[in-house]
Structure 1
């Protein structure tokens, strides 16, 4: 039996190494996120926890025989397909999840059904190595701000809420991305799922524990934001900043974890020493007769097919015009009037990016930006992290949704002052219909890259400042109307007509 384990583990090691080597760029980007983004710092511990979970199951695993289970190659192939989709659409989350899926599929295929069932939870827990959850940040910012407002009302602190900004007599507070509580919710999800497996057998108790842990994390973050503003109201803003840094950095998550575990402790129903699985029941599964080396070769072929297809289908790109110009719009003239606070959208890697300011006879002013790409790839994407109206490296921050046409994306962004802007963004891929949906942009990018279609892409942003006597939404709507056909402007910007 030891010889069989060595053969299967050696083959699995070769396939796993090949996956890590072939997709090393994605492995490196994932580990870089773990190391540099505090939201995903807990991911550094997940591989160690998986090793510990496997070690806990070793006594039972020694009683099982590994085998090749070919249906596991479907799981691996699904991972390869997901990587292809993620690479074509420019979605790092898909590529990172695909790495985990491919490693899981290789394990299932090369160690067999019985061993995989014994390792079911450690295999599943591998998904927590994927940096996911950034999409929760804007909703959690809004939830945290509203929770803080409710609590401020309860203690009669006068406050005004606008998006993620709270104004009190003491000062002006922003529920920033780092204050949204997302990193605590994500870390609590990883911790809570681990506790569910280690400490509970009942699925009802597991569900109640996890729901309670996540809910308490959100509520506690609202309390932290409220307490910070209250300290500022009772003392000073400087004192509140110091309080927030101490609570947020050292105490907050530890307190929440202690409260969660203290409340759940009496309900633990898994006793120390309880077996993780029954080896005798798993031994009844039939073994496959396929050689592990042959299965390993099939796995490698599936893995290599994804990047090969992408390289072939996206080899060529249609050229952009050599120069990109802003449009001439009837009733609007270019102006050099300075904005209340400088604004420039961010489109890393864009082949062209032009900006201009327009004013009409009603003294309404808008800023227009157009960015074009001959193709999209890692680091130069139409939509994605840090791309768009609010550059995270600038003083502009997203604060709430804003009105927009049906095919546009409306956002309110804020800079120090405060200076508030409304921005309407339109995106187009390869001459397709303009959209404000980032998901539709990704799907259109995916389609063109996989089919070898026209990959040229454009973003058009129309923005105006909000303030006394400045109707931003009216100015934006008037400019879009007077521009005529926005689709024509987009197509001309990338050289289609």
Structure 2
């Protein structure tokens, strides 16, 4: 019995190659789901755990709806496997393997999702993939990504709120993300950053732009507005809540209603954005108008490609899909060896000697999971300031814990008695990479200035992304993921410059020696 899909007054006969192509596509996607099940499960767990990414549950149903809308256009096209798609599929597989070997979950998740359009291109061909380009791209919104924006958006929100309060004429004292008004104290926390508003607005705004507009210019403008509006709206929301609390003598907007006011305000703003955007809607135009799309053909479909090409494409899809997890699993079971040769105690150089317990108490960075550590204080032989060097060495991080990650900071996320403050950059003569200069405050009024570098691949850097990239490339090629944290530090009373003069003198001699030591630990 012939299958006909009605379309207006006529009917569309699906191209003859669709039954076999859909079977092959189902096999490829099933293999993808099974091979990368832990990666997809990690995405679902984040949707469940975080309200910021709860919209992830809607992405797949939305994509299915978008594909359903295109069913008549797709039916008139002949699936033709494209073996050229093997190239991006190989690259995406390598991307996932590198993310797995150095435990970067966002890289694994993006790679797993990007495999879907690559498989569609391989099995169904380029023309069908072009028709599905937006639904396939929209799948990326399923990846829980964007939390890196929390801290900068918290700072922006605090900047705007404090500035607006001062313009209002209300006295305010600011200390970082905390600020005091005559009626009470406020702070900008992660929930106030506006990231969840931004992510929700961009996801909805992108879908709205695709459905309502045909011109790419209008689509891009609306997406830009969907990015800008929630940021500004969150600033106004924060300012409004603080002022409501201040004017009501902290009787309003200080408890549960704080969040309620925020969501109501955000909902009204987003609704107005969509209502105004709808004034320029173009969804009444045909698909080809103002978009450059070609009207789908309605004639007799071309003959289906030979079965051998489809079988080859399906076999390649299965091979590449399962190869990534198998290779990463084999690499992660390799024994990378113990860490030897780092030594213990302070690193002594000419003119410096080990400090006594009376000189100062050694400070340790809040990094964890190191395989070996070395550190201690030294003082100049001519009664100089006590300074210290601390080294944490990492190896087999997939098994023992990562050096670069959210959990590791100089203050230490597991320590409540230390606070970390921004301090800029610092340079050491003879060292080609500047270090991060960080100020820390601890118990009993203790203050520490710290200079931090990461060592990876025989060189220093301050970029966590560079560390991960070098580790991933080394592991991919069969090497180790050796890396180290190098921190120079000193206590100070009022001005950190008091201690940094001695710190610079010690660093000029100790850092080159530390680099030679690390090269020896890494071995050939």
For the aligned pair, the TM-score class normalised by the smaller chain equals 0.7 to 0.9
Gap change, CA 1:397 and 1:128, over 3 Å in 2: farther
1:373 pairs, out of 387, 394, 407, with 394
The structure having more radius of gyration, on CA atoms, is: 2
2:200 pairs, out of 187, 190, 200, with 187
Q: Does 1:452 align with 2:478?
A: yes
Residue 98 of structure 1, CA deviation: 0.8
Deviation per CA, 1:361-399: give whole Å up to 9, x if none. Answer: 999777865432222227722212222225445546766
Gap change, CA 1:96 and 1:119, over 3 Å in 2: same
Q: Normalized against structure 2, the TM-score is what?
A: 0.80
Structure 1 residue ranges without an equivalent (≥5): none
Gap change, CA 1:137 and 1:12, over 3 Å in 2: same
Cα distance in 1, alignment partners of residues 483 and 415 from structure 2: 24
Q: Aligned ranges for residues 180-259 of structure 1 at < 5 Å?
A: 180-235=193-248, 239-242=252-255, 243-248=257-262, 250-259=263-272
1:407 pairs, out of 434, 442, 447, with 434
Deviation per CA, 1:55-103: give whole Å up to 9, x if none. Answer: 2222333333333222233332232122133234443222111111112
* Larger deviation, residues 411-420 vs 184-193: 411-420
Q: Normalized against structure 1, the TM-score is what?
A: 0.84
Cα distance in 2, alignment partners of residues 464 and 239 from structure 1: 46
Paired position in structure 2 for 1:153: 166
SS in 1 for 2:366: coil
Gap change, CA 1:65 and 1:247, over 3 Å in 2: same
Deviation per CA, 1:24-72: give whole Å up to 9, x if none. Answer: 2222222222221233222221112111211222233333333322223
SS in 2 for 1:402: strand
2:83 pairs, out of 70, 84, 89, with 70
Q: Does 1:120 align with 2:160?
A: no
SS in 2 for 1:71: helix
Paired position in structure 1 for 2:98: 85
Q: Aligned ranges for residues 418-433 of structure 1 at < 5 Å?
A: 423-430=450-457, 432-433=458-459
Cα distance in 1, alignment partners of residues 359 and 298 from structure 2: 78
* Larger deviation, residues 326-335 vs 130-139: 326-335
* Larger deviation, residues 394-403 vs 149-158: 394-403
1:350 pairs, out of 370, 388, 408, with 370
Paired position in structure 2 for 1:268: 281
Paired position in structure 2 for 1:301: 319
Gap change, CA 1:482 and 1:105, over 3 Å in 2: same
Cα distance in 2, alignment partners of residues 336 and 273 from structure 1: 82
Paired position in structure 1 for 2:9: none
**Contact 1:77–1:102 (Cα < 8 Å) also in 2:** no
Deviation per CA, 1:332-353: give whole Å up to 9, x if none. Answer: 73658999xx986143x33245
